[in-house]
Chain A
Amino acid sequence: MLAQQLLNGIALGFTYILIAVGLTMIYGVLKLLHFAHGVIYTVGAFSAMIGILYLNMNFIVAILFGMIIAGIAGVLVERLAYRPLRGTHPITTLISGVGIAIFVESLFQAIFTSDPRGFPATGMKVEPIHITSSISLTNSKLYIIIVGLVCLLLLYAFLKWTKMGVAIQAVSQDMRAASLMGVNVNQVVAVTFFIGSALAALAGAFVAYDFNSLFPTMGSIPGLKAFCVVVLGGLGSIPGTIIGGLILGIVESLSEGYLTGMVIDKDAIAFVILILILLLKPSGLFGKQVEKV
């Protein structure tokens, strides 16, 4: 029972990580809380659905398609909603992000209605894989773990060994100094939004496939939870985000196994953790002391 819940928790944790890594990277380069990240997750899921349904893509191609569309959407959000406000009070960009989220959700409701729909047939059935007689995992959750690990490794290699990766890290440390060393900051920001959005889309598409359901507001709770994960791990820290995502996934999954019927809803746990961390260690598990501006 415990091992089973842990396994489910890790799979859940990886979806949170995939969403939250983008948030933390975006915070890193722009010191901006990107509240429209949840709708990017939705855009990813719907784009993958459209790819399969209307463009005759197979599952894997459709997921890549969803990642690219969501990546472009993320870059556009930055270009249209954040860049014109750069240098203004952080609250301004935050409100702008919330505005974008509401706009995109409403647009999706107008186009697709607010009713949940099933994920189209992929030719890959969601079915349990028995690891031991008592422990099993659906293949879709296993894919999430594997794909999540591969993405994190690729991200690590990208940040460590490529020129653009080095630039992203330099901008995260000091945007102005980096720009004066020849780093094109706007390009770095765009690439960061693209990568972060594509990873969130990956999570969105896999969750829609796993639960066989997608709807226009599907991203709002995961988006908020990713925000909790980022604060828990420490704003701007990728290792912190990974640990934070796993903690949230495992805690949620354990609570589902052991606390059924309790007063507290599973979805509320993230926010309880958020409140606790803000009270006890506002800089998060791996964060630096947050500088007041």
Chain B
Amino acid sequence: MDALLEMKGITKRFGGLTAVDQVDLIVKKGEILGLIGPNGAGKTTFFNILTGIYRPDQGNIQFNGTDITGFKPYQIANQGIFRTFQNIRLLKDYSVLDNIKLGLFRQTKAGAWSSIFGLRRSREEEKKVAEESWALLERLGLTDLANEAAGNLSYGNQRRVEIARALVSHPEMILLDEPAAGMNSEEVESLSALVRQIRQQGTTVILIEHNVGMVVELCDRLVVLDHGVKIADGDPNQVVANPAVIEAYIGGQEVTEVVGD
């Protein structure tokens, strides 16, 4: 398999804190990659760099043979990288269906005049957008909620809508930031099934997750960040048995316990 994403020496500092420190990463096409690490390890920051929200202080990102370092978020989206957020970011006043239609934004072309005057091309485009969005809602069993305002949905359903929005345009790569947070084991099961389906449709997945059981079972490969440094990269079962990884997690827990006292 070819490398879809190649990141070299990625570093991001916030003042004196190095949130991501010299990270190299290669992701192959069609892979499901798990990104784990204790709280504050720099996982979300890594996604923010990859999606253009932050510009890395050092390092270089190649995607599909294009150098995308320093691209703006909308340019990254146009390259086919979509994501979900740790704190869900749906357009809360929009209906579920309209949120998902927004996921197809980059693929619509109709200009101002043709849409105002209802020319055929834009009507066809609008119809296609509605159909594709609806088909995805059906696949995810969300059709009952299609016209509900996204902000009124339960937490689990908001997560699913957010994934649907990231997925509807058949992106090259999708980044999921703790998608299973707050889900029960049954919902985690169906989420895992969905991620496998996503890969089936040809989309490469990077998944940040604290649910170690889920990532070990789901991912082809695990990468571990700790204090911004990549400390492990490889087969999931081997990675979670790696003493350095266990140490990072236990070390992190000790810190939280001290803080909790």
Q: Which residues of A contact B (CB under 8 A)?
A: 154, 157-158, 161-167, 170, 173-174, 176-185
The answer to whether B116 touches A163 (Cβ under 8 A) is: no
Chain A residue with Cβ nearest B88 = A177
Provide the residues of chain A in CB contact with B78, threshold 8 Å: 182
- Interface contact A162-B105, CB-CB below 8 Å: no
Residues of B within 8 A of A157 (CB): 116
Q: Which of chain A's residues have a CB closer than 8 A to the CB of B221?
A: none
Judge if B82 is at the interface, Cβ distance under 8 Å: yes
Please determine whether A162 and B74 come into contact, CB atoms closer than 8 angstroms: no
Q: Which residues of B contact A162 (CB under 8 A)?
A: 110-112, 115-116
CA distance A196 to B243 in the complex (A): 61
Taking a contact as CB atoms under 8 Å apart, the answer to whether B105 and A181 are in contact is yes
What are 25 A-B residue pairs whose CB atoms fall within 8 Å in the complex?
Answer: A154-B116, A162-B112, A163-B108, A163-B110, A163-B115, A170-B105, A173-B94, A174-B89, A176-B89, A177-B89, A177-B90, A179-B72, A179-B77, A180-B51, A180-B53, A180-B73, A180-B74, A180-B77, A181-B102, A181-B103, A181-B105, A182-B74, A182-B77, A184-B72, A185-B74
Q: Secondary structure at chain A's binding surface: helix, strand, loop or mixed? A: helix
Chain B interface (Cβ within 8 Å of chain A)? Answer: 51, 53, 72-74, 76-78, 82-83, 85, 89-94, 102-103, 105-106, 108-112, 115-116, 122, 165
The answer on a CB contact under 8 Å between B105 and A180 is no
From the candidates B74, B82, B122, name the one contacting A183 in the complex (CB within 8 A). B74
Complex CA–CA separation, A184 to B106 (angstroms): 10
**Chain B residue nearest in CB terms to A288:** B93
> In the bound complex, how far is the Cα of B91 from the Cα of A179, in angstroms?
12
> Would you call A173 and B92 a contact (CB within 8 A)?
yes
Which 8 A-B pairs rank lowest in CB-CB distance, beginning with the nearest? Answer: A182-B106, A182-B77, A179-B73, A173-B91, A177-B89, A161-B115, A162-B112, A184-B74
